[in-house]
Amino acid sequence: MTEKMNLKEIEKKAWTSYFQDGLWDIYLGLLFFNMGINDLFEQFGEFRPISGIIIVFGGMMFLILGKKYITVPRLGLVKFGQKRQINAIKLSILILIAVVTTAILFFVPQQFQLSTDIPIRGIIISLLLFTIFTGMAYLLDFKRLYVYAIVFSVAMFLAEYIHEIFGRPTSGIIIFAIPGLIVMLIGFFHLIKFSKTYQKPTGAI
Amino acid sequence: MNKSSSKKTEDVQSISNIDKIIHEPARLNIMAHLYVVDSADFLFLMRQTDLTFGNLSSHMSKLEDVGYIEIIKEFVGKKPHTMLRLTKKGRIAFEEYKKNMKQFFDGIPK
């Protein structure tokens, strides 16, 4: 009996069940979608960043409230052990480093452009994005993130070239908004499937 | 002869020492799930173990009676919530159970 009982697999299954709801997919897809449509808000002038901030924080609220009102009432509540808590801290550090590095790269563009043929900034940002997403996928045991890592980092790398061909805002829509929308749709598909699989229990448990 | 008969005695003893409370499949499933987390609520355990409410409740009571789990009733917002956690005694008992079972299976010739 113990040979078939793999405690590591039991813990992993318990952990990954929390990603069946698709909420993370929706949030990440929304972030990318927002990047793609950001150029459409150029008409708002100095208020343009606010629209992006609203979408990003709105998405975050959807994620948090979704976990609270959709996932937990259907799946139940669990507090994981030390290993997962340590991974959460590592993940927070990873995201913090990524945000700071990306901010620096975006605000210091010229120094990374050695020649017009080699988009160094694009390469660095896409590698950074790939590293962040694969790091998240590993720490969260969230396999779909590996696919999103490839999609988003390739999109970031191609951004410079697509901008030159189609110009803004069309390039943003092609490179970021469409993949972002696809990821969001994947998220909604998982959310609907999750809601049907795990009906909300009636009565107190 | 002496070596094999003493080995047989050891095997019999190790299987005789198996904790019968934990050994029941549903309770083993519950203990295993609680062992790998810090705590979990009733619904989570129902989902993970595929046990019905009544079944889970019954096994929980048995485990609580022997002091292997503690049941914490609390309110989350206005809703009553039941969290479950292995006690220290429960963790030790589960580890002992694992050790005994491993010893027994390892002793079986291939």
Contacts of A77 in chain B (CB under 8 A): 40-41, 43-44, 76, 81, 83
Of the candidates B25, B35, B44, which has its C-beta nearest A78's C-beta? Answer: B44
Q: What does the pLDDT read at residue A65?
A: 94
Tens digit of each residue's pLDDT, chain B (110 residues): 555 666 556 555 556 678 899 999 999 999 999 999 999 999 999 999 999 999 999 999 999 999 999 988 877 777 777 899 999 999 999 999 998 888 888 777 77
Contact B34, B93 (CB under 8 A): no
Q: What average pLDDT does this structure show over A184-198? A: 95
Interface list for chain A against chain B, based on CB atoms closer than 8 Å: 1-3, 5, 7-8, 10-11, 13-14, 17, 75-81, 198, 201, 204-205
Per-residue model confidence as pLDDT tens digits over A73-88: 999 999 898 888 888 8
* Cβ-defined contact of B36 to A7 (cutoff 8 Å): yes
Q: What does the pLDDT read at residue A21?
A: 93
Contacts of B102 in chain A (CB under 8 A): 2
Residue predicted with more confidence, A185 or A166: A185
* Cβ-defined contact of B79 to A204 (cutoff 8 Å): yes
* Cβ-defined contact of B40 to A78 (cutoff 8 Å): yes
Residue predicted with more confidence, B69 or A126: B69
CB-based contacts of B32, cutoff 8 Å, min separation 6:
A5, A7, A10, B94
A117/A163 Cα distance (integer angstroms): 14
Query: Could you report the predicted ipTM of this complex, rounded to two decimals?
Result: 0.80
Q: What does the pLDDT read at residue B47?
A: 93
Highest mean pLDDT (candidates A40-49, A65-74, A78-87, A161-170): A65-74
Alpha helix (H) ranges present in chain A? Answer: 7-16, 23-37, 48-66, 72-75, 82-107, 120-140, 144-166, 170-172, 178-197
* Cβ-defined contact of B40 to A13 (cutoff 8 Å): no
Longest dimension (CA), chain B: 68
The amino acid occupying position B101 is M
Q: What does the pLDDT read at residue A109?
A: 57
A39/A181 Cα distance (integer angstroms): 16
Contacts of A79 in chain B (CB under 8 A): 37-40
* Cβ-defined contact of B32 to A201 (cutoff 8 Å): no
**Cα distance from A96 to chain B (closest Cα, Å)?**
27
Chain B's closest residue to A8, CA to CA, is B36
Chain A's closest residue to B45, CA to CA, is A76
| Region of residue B57 (phi > 0: left; psi between -120 and 50: alpha; otherwise: beta) | alpha
pLDDT tops 50 at residue A40: yes
Chain A's closest residue to B24, CA to CA, is A1
Q: What does the pLDDT read at residue A1?
A: 44
Of the candidates B25, B44, B76, which has its C-beta nearest A75's C-beta? Answer: B44
Per-residue model confidence as pLDDT tens digits over A76-125: 999 898 888 888 888 888 878 877 776 676 665 555 554 455 567 778 88
∠ at Cα A77 (A26, B39), nearest 5°? 135
